[in-house]
A and B are shown apart, each in its own frame.
Chain A
Amino acid sequence: MANRTSAAQRPNGSTQGKICQFKLVLLGESAVGKSSLVLRFVKGQFHEYQESTIGAAFLTQTVCLDDTTVKFEIWDTAGQERYHSLAPMYYRGAQAAIVVYDITNQDTFARAKTWVKELQRQASPNIVIALAGNKQDLANKRMVEYEEAQAHAEENGLLFMETSAKTAMNVNDIFLAIAKKLPKNEQTTGPGGSGQGRRLVEGDSGAKAAGNCCK
Chain B
Amino acid sequence: MTTTAPVAVKSRALDRALTGGLGGLLGGGFTGFVLRRVLGAVVTLFVLSAVIYAVFYVAPGDVAQITCGPRCSPAQVQQVSEQLKLDDPIYVRYLDFLRGVLVGQDYSTGTGVLHCDAPCLGLSYRTDQQVTELILNKVPVTGSLAIGAMVLWLILGVGTGVLSAWRRGRLTERVLTAVTLAGTATPVFVIGLLLMILVCGRLQWLPFPQYVPFTDDPQQWAWNLLLPWVSLALIEAAKYARLTRSSMLETLAEDHVRTFRAYGIRERSIVGRHALRGALAPVVALSANDFGSMFGGALLTETLFGLPGLGRELVQAVRVVDLPVVVGMVLVTGFFVVLANAVADVLYAVADRRVVLS
Binding partners A and B: no
Residues on A facing B (Cβ under 8 Å) = none
